[in-house]
Structure 1
Amino acid sequence: MIHLAYLLVLIVFITPLIPGVLGILLPAVSWLPPLGYVTPHLGAFATVADWPNLVQSVLLSLFTGMGSSLLALVATFLILRRFWLNPRWQKIEYALSPMLAMPHVAFAIGFSFLLAPSGWLYRGFEALGVNTAGSYSLIQDPYGIGLLLALAIKEIPFLLIMSISVLQQLNVHKQLAVANGLGYDNKQAWLKVILPQWLPKIRLPLFAVAAYGISVVDVALILGPSRPTTLSVLVWQWFNDPDLALMPRAAVGALLLLTTTAFGLLVFRTLEWLGLKQCRQWQITGAATLRNSVKSKISGSLLTLVTLLPFMLLPLLVIWSFAQRWRFPDLLPTRYSFRFWQQELTPLVELIGNSMMLALLSCAVALVMAIFCLEYRNKYLRGLPLWCIAIPLVAPQLSLLFGIQISTYWLANQQFVLWVIWSHTFFAFPYIYLALDGPWRSYDSRLDQCARSLGLTAWQTWWQVKRPMVMPAIWMALTIGLSVSLAQYLPTQMLGAGRISTITTEAVALASGQDRRVTAIYGLLQGLLPFVVFSIGLTASHFSSRFHSRKPSAQQRSTNTDDIICGKPDY
């Protein structure tokens, strides 16, 4: 059975690649028989090449995506250097999960309400007597600076969480002690000793952040520039063109977006190679005093910004959702009302139900698949290929889903709910797998051997011995998967063909210029739903951990692994 499950996982990840690639290449050369294109030609490439401001759109995507990733990487390193061995780190680690739970769309809506020309920040300046007329706005600015900052702030918690296991493997405390003995202070040791080891191990999360920033659509629709737009938004507009005869142009755009993302990742990999392998004189110059070193106050300010900003945006969304009259530059509304909540209550119930149904089904399937793959690796020492994890994280969603969407046109009976659940499973599986990978590696297999020697079957051993020990990790993995599924916009829109609505798709649609009060309601719920999921998951994980590690009574044997297997019974 475990062989069939492992084979099924490979099929689930291989099958979308073939139609995903063919669904881009064939329409790009204008071969699409359902639309009457049966003679391949390169006319769509010429159309895209002649598109006005295409180069500016590509540069905007590279600037916002790579700039936000680089900024998030530097901020993450500064925060780790300042707080990793600090007693405050444990509190910081507890706060990372709720910050990560806030979806990008909800964060973008709150960010726009805060920094728009009539936002709360400008209202505060007006209250202090500062005239903000004609001030520069970071929301939909022509250079994409607001989009860059929002993406960078939102991705810092993700890189911090991914760095925890990396730094635990590096044993930072001992390496710093050795470096200090050689005359390096902590800042020099972090830069010359820890950074060259940390950066390669954080490469895949960094690539995921960079690929998302270059190809993001939903956040760019809310915060990004509009004339010209980023390349991802431009391709999304081409894809939604009602004239199906222009589908080859959209295919070429998806191919260009894929190429642009690959170029951005190649630049990051080249810079890493140059800095750590080729031009490494800065690593071996000795313990000379570093000039213009970044002060620790900057790290504290960055951590304060990353920590407080998501929690500041939620109250702002709450106030906007109840505001009936809020004129600029009033700091608070002059009149409140429940009218907007009452008129949206019925559709909200349906949307939340759809969102939770899709998330629960897709994450349940992804969780079972991940457990089977990890058990297969423990039994046969053959892990899941790295590309199965990397492709959903690194490949642009728009390019991959475009090819799959084209492939679905060949099916006469289209099951949109099934396609959406499958796509959510495809994108949630890597996060669940990575969340369970560490606990499965640290599990002591001697416990299984002891249980089997006492007469338990393989299934009984897993259910009665291993499952209780890894149950906290399973709860956390399921929580992460649910949060990922709840935030999916493009898979729901494209493979659902607009027939399946969730709280995320409606929030993005309303953020385009509808009433701010209604937008605030949907943005607030889209942000609170993952918070509720994370709270339930943390509570369940905590109780599972406490139940398993409860103190044994005098009549119970020790639960220590070595005592059970190697030691004598201790009553």
Structure 2
Amino acid sequence: MIHLLYLLALLLCVAPLIPGLLGVVLPAASWLPPLGLNSPSAVAWQQLLSWPGLGESIALSLFTGLGSTLLALLFTFFILRRYWDTPQWRRLENTLSPMLALPHVAFAIGFALLFAPTGWFFRLLAASGLNTDNAINVVQDPYGIGLLIVLAIKETPFLLLMSIGVLQQLQVKRLLAVSTSLGCTHHESWHKVILPLWLPKMRLPLLAVAAYGLSVVDIALFLGPQRPSTFAIQVWHWFNEPDLQLLPRAAAGALLLLAITLSVLLGLRGLEWLLVRGTRAWQLNGPTASTYCGLVSTSHAVNGRYNGAGSPQTLHPALITRLRGCATALRRRIPLFAPFVLIPLLVIPTLLVWSFAQRWRFPDLLPSRYSFRFWEQELEPLLTLTGHSMLLALGSGLIALVLTIGCLEYKQRYHRAIPYWILAIPLVTPQLSLLFGIQVATYWVPGQHFGLWVFWSHLFFVFPYLYLSLEGAWRSYDVRLDQCSRSLGKTAWQTWWQVKRPIVQPAILMGLAVGISVSLAQYLPTQMLGAGRISTITTEAVALASGQDRRVMAIYGLLQGLLPLLFFGLAVFINRRTSRYSSPYSSQGHGPSDTSSTHSGSHHANDTVRG
């Protein structure tokens, strides 16, 4: 049975990579026999390179995708350096899971309603007496600043949660104690000791964030620049051209997008080498003289002021104490991570208010009239779309869970596993490029099986997330428990169900919630392989966010954001209700690190088991 599950996983979740690659390379060479293109040529590349605005679109993609990745990385490191292993970190850690459970589309819709020219932010400014006529609009701005901010804010909690397991393995407290005993300051210890150890272990999450930022389509459709748009959006428009003879140009664009993404990933790998290996001499030279000079200058700046002759004039001690107290209070009241917590927390209330608003004039802070009319008129399509979304999410999540458990059991028993670089391909490859090839490959299959292809595509993208979420729990499991159970006369199935299952159950439930949330957030697989015939909450939310009524847009965004939160909350509730009765191992999952597995794509789900 385990052999069969392992082979099915390879067939369903790994084999599509081959037609995905060939299906984009061959059409890019203008070889597509179903359209009558039987001889390879470079016409598609000529059409691509001659398209006006190509350079601007690529530059926008690099600015928004690479810029948001670097910003998220910097924010993550600064937050970890400031708050790791502090009481503030405990509070922040408890908010990471709901922030990650909120899908990108729902977050982007809420962000647009918050920071649009008539959003809550500008309403507050107008209520304060400020003139908002010439204020900067970050929704569909020509430079992509709004898209960059949304990606950076949404990906920072993901990188923070990825860092929990990494820093726990590094034993940061011991490293800081040793470096401090050698004379390094707190910041110097993080820069010279923690950063070179933390950054290589964050390679896969960072590359996944960069690949998503460069190739994002759904939120860029209504939040990013339009003329010119990002390169991924332009390729998406080419793909939807009614003239099928222009399909090779879209294939060439998808292949170019893949090449750009791979180049950026290589560049990030080079940046990692520069920070970790290229500065080795600086890391090993111990405390620098600038540290002492910085402390001296800071002390002079705080404890004295210079008169005209340049000599310090000591401030009154009571004033110094008061200034320090004010600075500490300000730092505590407005923590560094405030924007990454407050903005996501405001999204759901914003969507909720807009969904019931009937009349909301600017600059009123709240609607003057409320109505259920928009919910009533959308109730029937909402039920249908929710049914489609739940069917795809539950089906793909459960099947991916069975295949993942089979692969992990196969790995534990036979010490053979799917290579990580294969699992990483769906995570770090632009979805647009990969799905284009898979869709072209489906043209060779007779008949119209759109539902089957959509379900398969969801399974294809859910499986690697589930595998990486559960792999840690299986790796930390003590196989001697199985040996002891078998020696007492239990069968293999009884051993798994009665001994192993209670220990790994928290990770299984959280992993299933991860898989369901990943499926619920899929836009491109549903649109491309479904040919527009399969609609879900996500596809409808993106379509409505492109210019329909804000109230209807808020309804779909609210529902799209609440569904993943429902499954994560259900998983947490079941784990808390059952872990105390399961085993002493699973009862350890109620510490601060318990949330480290409740996120999309986390490969540290073992923290839920080990605590």
- The one-letter amino acid paired with 2:118 is S
User: Deviations along 1:158-213, whole A, 9 cap, x unmatched?
Assistant: 11111111111111111111111111122211111011000000000000000000
Write the mapping of 1:254-293 to structure 2, written as runs, cut at 5 A. 254-288=254-288, 289-290=290-291
Q: 1:308 aligns with which of 328, 338, 342?
A: 342
**Partner residue, 1:561:** none
Q: Does 1:530 align with 2:542?
A: no
Task: State yes or no: 1:184 paired with 2:190.
Answer: no
Conserved in 2, the CA contact under 8 Å of 1:122 and 1:132?
yes
- 8 Å contact 1:179–1:189 — kept in the other structure? yes
**How do 1:495-506 and structure 2 match up within 5 A?**
495-506=529-540
CA displacement at 1:384 relative to structure 2? 2.0
Gaps of 5+ in 2: 299-326, 586-611
Aligned twin of 1:469 = 503
User: Distance in 2 between the 1:292 and 1:471 partners?
Assistant: 51
The whole-number CA distance in structure 1 between the counterparts of 2:272 and 2:204 is: 13
SS of the residue 1:278 aligns to: coil
Is 2:554 the counterpart of 1:520? Answer: yes
What is the 5 A alignment of 1:199-214?
199-214=199-214
1:281 Cα deviation from its structure 2 partner: 3.4
Distance 1:130 1:307 in 2: 26
Structure-to-structure mapping, 1:400-411, within 5 angstroms: 400-411=434-445
* One-letter amino acid of the counterpart of residue 472, structure 1: P
Letter of the structure 2 residue corresponding to residue 82 of structure 1: R
Q: Which residue of 1 aligns with 2:86?
A: 86
Over the matched positions of the two proteins, sequence identity in percent amounts to 62
Give the Å deviation of 1:4.
2.4
The 3-state SS of whatever aligns with 1:301 is coil
Q: Is the 8 A contact 2:13 2:459 kept in 1?
A: no
Q: Please state how far the C-alpha of 1:132 moved relative to its aligned partner.
A: 0.7
Question: Alignment partner for residue 391 of structure 1, among 425, 431, 441?
Answer: 425
- TM-superposed CA distance for 1:375, in Å, is 1.1
Residue in 2 aligned with 1:428? 462
Is the Cα contact below 8 Å between 1:472 and 1:544 reproduced in 2?
no
1:385 CA displacement: 0.3
Which residue does the alignment assign to 2:64?
64
Change in Cα spacing, 1:272 to 1:299, as seen in structure 2 (3 Å) is farther
* Equivalent-residue separation in structure 2 for 1:308 and 1:53 (angstroms): 37
Corresponding position: 1:351 with 2:385: yes
Judge conservation of contact 2:502–2:583 (CA < 8 Å) in 1.
Answer: no
- Could you tell me which amino acid in structure 2 is paired with residue 137 of structure 1? N
The 8 Å contact of residues 13 and 463 in structure 2, kept in 1 or not, is answered as no
Alignment counterpart, residue 366 of structure 1, candidates 397, 400, 418: 400
Contact 1:79 1:300 in 2 (8 A): no
Structure 2 residue 189 is matched with structure 1 residue 155: no
The question of whether the paired residues in 2 share the 8 Å contact of 1:82 and 1:299 is answered with: no
> C-alpha offsets along residues 350-381 of structure 1, whole Å, 9 cap, x if unaligned?
11111111000001111111111111111122
Provide the alpha-carbon RMSD of the alignment.
Answer: 1.8
**Residue 63 (structure 1) shift:** 0.9
For 1:548 and 1:498, locate their aligned partners in 2 and report how far apart those are by CA, in whole Å.
Answer: 45
* Residues 1:507 and 2:541 aligned together: yes
User: 457, 461, 477: which one pairs with 1:443?
Assistant: 477
Q: How does 1:189-200 map to 2 (within 5 A)?
A: 189-200=189-200
What residue identity is the alignment partner of 2:226?
Answer: S
Q: Deviations over 1:398-433 (max 9, x none)?
A: 000001111111111232122111111111112211
Go from structure 1 to structure 2 and tell me whether the alpha carbon gap of 1:203 and 1:300 turns closer, same or farther (over 3 Å shift): farther
Farther-moved stretch of structure 1 (63-72 vs 172-181): 172-181
Q: 1:505 to 1:298 in 2, by over 3 A?
A: farther
SS at match of 1:138: coil
What one-letter code is carried by the residue in structure 1 that aligns with 2:283?
A: Q
Q: Where do residues 229-240 of structure 1 align in structure 2 (5 Å cutoff)?
A: 229-240=229-240
The one-character-per-residue Cα deviations of 1:247-286 (angstroms, maximum 9, x if unpaired) are 0111001001101111111111111112211233331232
Partner of 2:493: 459
Q: Does 3-12 or 247-256 show the bigger shift? A: 3-12
Match of 1:175 in 2: 175
For residues 272-323 of structure 1, give each alpha carbon's deviation from its aligned partner in whole angstroms, at most 9, with x where no partner exists: 1122112333312321254889999499633111112111111111111111
Q: Is contact 1:28-1:252 (8 Å) kept?
A: yes
Unaligned runs of 5+ in 1: 552-571
Which residue matches 2:116? 116
Displacement of 1:13: 3.3
User: How far 1:16 sits from its partner (Å)?
Assistant: 1.1
| CA deviation profile, 1:90-149 (whole Å, cap 9, x unmatched) | 332222111100000000001111111111111111111101112211111111111001
Tell which deviates more after alignment, 16-25 or 250-259. 16-25
Query: Partner letter of residue 496 of structure 1?
Result: G
After superposition, the Cα gap between the structure-2 partners of 1:550 and 1:266, relative to the gap in structure 1 and judged at 3 Å, is closer
Question: CA separation of 1:208/1:235 partners in 2, compared to 1, >3 Å: closer, same or farther?
Answer: same
Q: Normalising to structure 2: TM-score of the pair?
A: 0.88
CA contact (8 A) 1:75 1:299 kept: no
Paired residues of 1:472 and 1:541 also in contact (CA < 8 A): yes
Partner of 1:96: 96
On the 8 A contact 1:79/1:299 being kept in 2, the answer is no
| Distance in 1, Cα, partners of 2:333 & 2:168 | 21
Structure 2 distance, partners of 1:326, 1:282, is 58
Tell me how far apart the structure 2 counterparts of residues 325 and 50 of structure 1 sit (CA, whole Å): 48
Scaled by the length of structure 1, what TM-score is found? 0.94
Q: Matched residues in 2 for 1:67 and 1:530: separation?
A: 28
1:547 to 581, 597, 600: 581
Q: Provide the secondary structure at the position in 2 that maps to 1:499.
A: coil
Does the 8 Å CA contact 1:473/1:541 hold for their aligned counterparts?
A: no
Aligned to 1:558: none
State the distance in 2 between where 1:392 and 1:547 align. 38
| 2:164 aligned partner | 164
Cα contact 1:215–1:257 (8 A) shared by 2: yes
- Does structure 1 conserve the Cα–Cα contact (< 8 Å) formed by 2:139 and 2:223? yes
SS at match of 1:136: coil
Q: 1:298 to 1:72 in 2, by over 3 A?
A: farther
Distance of 1:409 and 1:184 partners within structure 2? 62
Equivalent residues, number: 551
How has the CA–CA distance of structure 1 residues 344 and 266 changed in structure 2, closer, same or farther, with 3 Å as cutoff? same
Match of 1:105 in 2: 105
